Amino acid sequence: MKYSQEVFEKLFYEADMDKNDGIEYTELYSFLKKQNMNPDLALVRKLFQQFDKDGSGKIELKEWCEMMPQIFQ
Size of residue set near Ca ion by CB under 5 A: 4
Q: Which of 3, 13, 18, 53 lies at the binding interface for Ca ion (CB under 5 A)?
A: 18
Q: Which of 4, 20, 56, 70 lies at the binding interface for Ca ion (CB under 5 A)?
A: 20
Cβ contact 56:25 at 8 Å: no
- Toward Ca ion, which CB reaches closer, 29 or 71? 29
Q: Any idea of the CA torsion for 8, 14, 15, 18, to the nearest 10 degrees?
A: 140
Only one of the segments 1-9, 14-22, 35-43, 62-70 lies at the binding site for Ca ion (rule: CB under 5 A); that segment is 14-22
Distance CA 19, CA 47 (A): 20
Instruction: Give the Cβ contact number of residue 49 at 10 Å.
Output: 10
The residues that touch Ca ion, with contacts defined as CB under 5 A, are 16, 18, 20, 22
